Structure 1
């Protein structure tokens, strides 16, 4: 429950930042943006449609057709995020008067940083902003010969063409600055606070350590038998992958159970497969 609460707390904070960036910077300053939100802001400019409600209406059919592809956990969290962000975007727009930035370049960079922080929190909590990512997966499922990256690129191009038609070509150029800044901010955060670490623990009290790691960190553990080359003593080799923010708790577990254990920690650049001991919705 603690992990579940923390995940939804991150989703909520990320959602608030996302809504603020859209309603407080992008809409009043008329900066372009890609994805489903680019369609929503364009329709808002042409017909006056509420951005939040439009986003919700676009995502509902995508969820209906793509639910099986996304999985239960991911769908629930993404659905929560889409619903809350749609409500907050329209709430901020209706109840607060945001003045457009005089320096559009500064606004684009600042917006990209906020969106980067927002996306990093959302992805860390196992969610997504929905939109064209879902439609891309649906198309890829129907036409496996088409690569997902190609589908997403085509979708982005079509959205940017719409944004250029509605707001002008300069808006698209600023949108690219927002996208670049957002990506770099996400990378910095995910390589820092949200990055994963692989830990090797050589110890004697392996049973207690494994039990505590599985209970307190909810991580799967690999255990191997080992022998010290200097003392010829029998040891146990424990391998576990954790989030960086769990590292201090892992150290506490090791110190409290087996202070003499030898522990090494190193970064992980990529992960394939499941490394959590249990999952929650």
Structure 2
């Protein structure tokens, strides 16, 4: 597979991941959260407020799409087209997903169990958004607002979104006059954000291997050809023996760890291996370099 086709493959993979994530979100939001009259954070929470305030006359999918079109038009001028490409796809995909599950799931999947529904819905929504963000995508909404605020003010996107979510969930009291629903909304926010971080970080987490072995050349050869990973050989000296030793340094995705351990063990079962979690790895084969 050449470089150009490889690039297209990963682009298609990203869009499929965004599609899957938005379907998961639409299912969790309509089947477990909206049907229990719980207001969440983000633009979906604002649209839920509009939905209930209008006597359920304006579907969430319609208001979500319309508001996002307005936000995208503003963001196009401020943030540029490059930022918005996958966001536009995410907006259309999530709008379609919300519309689909509005028709399929008009009632709660689990009846008379609002707290259990919120936990399940939050897990599904958080996991869905995690898949979207793992593919470097976005579902628009308050993400765009946060990015615009971050561009002009010294406020992080995460903090801006947190302020928005607190305000949106708190506003539900005006409609329902029910503190319990506000509590459920905050529970959903916490669980959803935790699952989002878990999915994103679990997908991108990298590890560093230090491999000490007399058969380092054979190990390097296998890593290059079987794993498709680059590595570096460092010269070291034993602190006790004073003998020269070669150290193979390898950075890989966490999911590749079992294959690397098997590879080294098959070559040299006496090898000494150190594995550690690294906070961030940027460059070819990993995440883009961030400034």
The normalised TM-score by structure 1 is 0.77
Map residues 1-281 of structure 1 onto 2, 5 A cutoff: 1=6, 3-47=10-54, 48-66=57-75, 69=79, 72=82, 75-99=84-108, 101-144=111-154, 146-170=155-179, 171-186=181-196, 189=199, 195-202=205-212, 203-205=216-218, 208=221, 211-212=224-225, 216=228, 223-229=232-238, 230=241, 232-233=243-244, 235-240=246-251, 242-251=252-261, 262-268=272-278, 270-271=279-280, 274-277=282-285
User: Could you tell me how far 1:117 is from its partner in structure 2?
Assistant: 2.4
Q: Flag the 1:190–1:18 CA change in 2: closer, same or farther, 3 A.
A: same
Unaligned runs of 5+ in 2: 1-5
- For the residue of structure 2 that corresponds to 1:204, the secondary structure is helix
Highest CA radius of gyration, 1 or 2? Answer: 2
Q: Is the 8 Å Cα contact of residues 35 and 132 (structure 1) preserved in structure 2?
A: yes
**What is the aligned length?**
271
Deviations 1:170-193 (A, max 9, x none): 322210111122234445556766
Partner Cα distance (2:236, 2:162) in 1: 52
Unaligned runs of 5+ in 1: none
The normalised TM-score by structure 2 is 0.75
Q: Is the 8 Å Cα contact of residues 209 and 257 (structure 1) preserved in structure 2?
A: no
Aligned alpha-carbon RMSD (Å) = 3.5
